[in-house]
Amino acid sequence: MTGILFAMQGAISQGILWSIMSLGIYITFRLLAISDLSVDGTFAVGGCVMATLITLGITPLLATTIAIIGGAIGGLVTGLLHTKCHIPAILAGILTQLGVYSINLRLMGRSNLPLLKLNTIFKQIEAMVGLSQTNSSLIVGIIVVAIVIAIMYWFFGTEIGSAIRATGSNENMVRSLGVNTDSTKIIGFMIANALVALSGALVAQSQGYADVKQGIGAIVIGLASIIIGETMIRKQTNFAIRLCMIVLGSIIYRLIIAIVLQLGLNTDDLKLFSAILVALFLTAPQLIKTKKGGVHHA
In the chain, where are the structural domains located? 2-255
The pLDDT score that the predictor gives to residue 242 is: 93
The pLDDT score that the predictor gives to residue 52 is: 95
Angle between helices 2-26 and 133-155 (to 10 degrees): 20
Who's near 68: CB < 8 A, 6+ residues apart?
Answer: 46, 194, 197, 198, 201
Q: Considering the entire predicted model, what is its pTM?
A: 0.93
**Is residue 277 very low, low, confident or very high in pLDDT (cuts 50, 70, 90)?**
confident
Pairing of strands 209-211, 112-114: antiparallel
Residue 244 has pLDDT above 50, yes or no: yes
* H or E segment and range at residue 16: helix 2-26
The pLDDT score that the predictor gives to residue 202 is: 97
**Chain centre to alpha carbon of residue 191:** 11
Closest CA to 49 of 262, 274, 212: 212
Stretch 234-256: mean pLDDT, rounded? Answer: 89
Residue 297 has pLDDT above 60, yes or no: no
Cα separation, 121 vs 247, in Å, equals 21
Specify the range with the lowest mean pLDDT, choosing from 59-73, 76-90, 111-125, 194-208: 111-125
Who's near 125: CB < 8 A, 6+ residues apart?
Answer: 131, 136, 139, 140
The pLDDT score that the predictor gives to residue 108 is: 92
Is residue 242 helix, strand or coil?
Answer: helix
Residue 40 has pLDDT above 90, yes or no: yes
The amino acid present at 148, given as its one-letter code, is V
Stretch 256-267: mean pLDDT, rounded? Answer: 83
Stretch 245-252: mean pLDDT, rounded? Answer: 95
Who's near 232: CB < 8 A, 6+ residues apart?
Answer: 245, 248, 249
Residue 279 has pLDDT above 50, yes or no: yes
Residue 148 has pLDDT above 80, yes or no: yes
The pLDDT score that the predictor gives to residue 294 is: 61
> What is the torsion angle, in degrees rounded to the nearest 10, for the CA atoms of residue 232, residue 234, residue 239 and residue 240?
-40
Residue 293 has pLDDT above 70, yes or no: no
**Is residue 250 very low, low, confident or very high in pLDDT (cuts 50, 70, 90)?**
very high
The pLDDT score that the predictor gives to residue 286 is: 73
Q: Look over the chain and give the mean of its residue pLDDT values, rounded to a whole number.
A: 90
Stretch 224-241: mean pLDDT, rounded? Answer: 85
Q: Which residue has the higher pLDDT, 23 or 6?
A: 23
The pLDDT score that the predictor gives to residue 1 is: 55
- Domain covering 2-255 in this structure, CATH number: 1.10.3470
Who's near 70: CB < 8 A, 6+ residues apart?
Answer: 42, 45, 46, 49, 197
Residue 298 has pLDDT above 50, yes or no: no
pLDDT > 90 in the chain, percent: 68
Residue 194 has pLDDT above 90, yes or no: yes
The pLDDT score that the predictor gives to residue 269 is: 83
Q: Which residue has the higher pLDDT, 229 or 193?
A: 193
